[in-house]
Chains A and B, each alone.
Chain A
Amino acid sequence: MQGGHGEPFTSPLFYESMARFDHTTRHVILEPGSVSPGILALLQGRRCRLLVADAALALNRLSEKPQETEFLLHQVEPLINDAGVEKIDTVLCWDLLNYLSLPLFNAFTARLAAIMAPSGMLHAYIHSAHNVMPRRPQRYSVLGDDLVARFDHDPPERKAPRYSYGDLDKHASGLRVARSMLLRNGIQEYLLRVKPE
């Protein structure tokens, strides 16, 4: 990761998650963190609504204190809350999951599953090739339909949990891993779907 500052990379599963969109159906996309540069250009002209929760730092802080999942669920709800207006079709969970403790990971994904449409997808990038990561979540920028770049503004100084396919499948409440790809730059890309009730 450290060597890939700002280098664009092809992201097949991101492409796949966005290719579901057509110009006739309305889609709702959620970015739990801050808005990713370039995403608006990609969505321009489509029937869509982008929700930006800007909750990455709050989640990161929540993660630092050991808490019960039940308590965390109550904490996460106001952070990821669209008042139930519309179900979420796609969640772009970039550089966020590695910053969550396992109990918070559980609570966070349970919250997402509750507000996602039954056909909803979660797209995630996870550090997997390096043992350390920056202190706080960094940004990704959308450069094209399947082209993304990562920007590391902070130096890597924190141990990365490097959540695996198995970890995600086990701890992602209400979601299941549908596909995963290891990209050349060491980023593991995931698509998760809502578990049928």
Chain B
Amino acid sequence: MFDRNKRETHDESDSIPTSETRESEERFDTQNRAREAAVIGPSIQINGDLSGEEDLIIQGKVSGTIQLREKSLTVGTKGQVDASVLAHSIIIEGKVNGDLCGSERVSIRKTGNVHGNIVSPKVSLDEGCRFKGSIDMDQETINKAFGKSATPSVTTKPEHASTKSKNIEINRSNKTGESSAAEKKVNSGSTG
């Protein structure tokens, strides 16, 4: 059930909604965050490793690894991520196929569809979201994920292979026709 490659597809009508009650103050306002975060737009596709020190919103397609240790990642409703993610907080409104490590929290919103394993001290699942995988809230596992061995492998690449924005770095393993647009978007520090 946790083999991501063997994911089973369901019709929308097959969805069994799930939810978790949350305190209202824990809610993030996507629009407010968008003013300060870097944005990967809907037409952008990135294959490779992505790391940085600012909040990031993904509305396009990203595959590889994503590491924002001190910052938050939002996968918007149009976003499709096939990657291991490590971040301070993670909000999923689109599709994710991969493991999510959130040192603070992981929230899957009602439009979110996640197939993977979550490691975080706080996890919330909104009514209507889809989730298949495991949720580990054991502090020991969380420490391990953020300390020694279980982090996604975001390696240091040579200068020529990376594109640096103010705070976001993309290490491309497969440059697509659209990646240059992605670089522009990220480099410009777009506020979406």
Contacts and interface: CB of A to CB of B under 8 A. Distances in A.
Interface of A: 26, 33-38, 40-41, 43-58, 78-83, 137, 139, 141
Contacts of B3: 78, 81, 83
A137 B16 CA distance: 9
B18 A34 contact: yes
Given A54-B130, A56-B16, A57-B16, 4 more contacts: A40-B124, A49-B136, A52-B131, A55-B1
Nearest to B140: A47
Nearest to A36: B18
B2 interface: yes
Contacts of B139: 47
A54 B1 contact: yes
B14 interface: yes
Contact of A26 (B1, B134, B138): B138
B123 A139 contact: no
A51 B6 contact: no
B167 interface: no
B18 A81 contact: no
Contact of A83 (B2, B18, B19): B2
Interface of B: 1-3, 6, 8, 10, 14, 16-21, 122-125, 127, 130-141
Given A57-B14, A78-B1, A52 B20 contact: no
B138 A48 contact: yes
B134 A52 contact: yes
Nearest to B2: A82
Contact of B138 (A34, A37, A47, A83): A47
Contact of B19 (A37, A47, A55): A37
Nearest to A50: B135
A44 B135 contact: no
12 contacts: A34-B131, A35-B18, A40-B124, A41-B20, A41-B21, A47-B137, A50-B137, A54-B130, A54-B132, A57-B16, A82-B134, A139-B16
Contact of B1 (A38, A45, A80): A80
Given A82-B1, A82-B2, A57 B123 contact: no
A51 B17 CA distance: 17
Contacts of B1: 51, 53-55, 78-82
Question: Across chains A and B, which 8 residue pairs bring their CB atoms closest together, nearest first?
Answer: A54-B132, A53-B1, A34-B16, A37-B19, A49-B136, A50-B135, A47-B138, A51-B134
B21 A38 contact: yes
B63 to A, nearest CB: 22
B18 A37 contact: yes
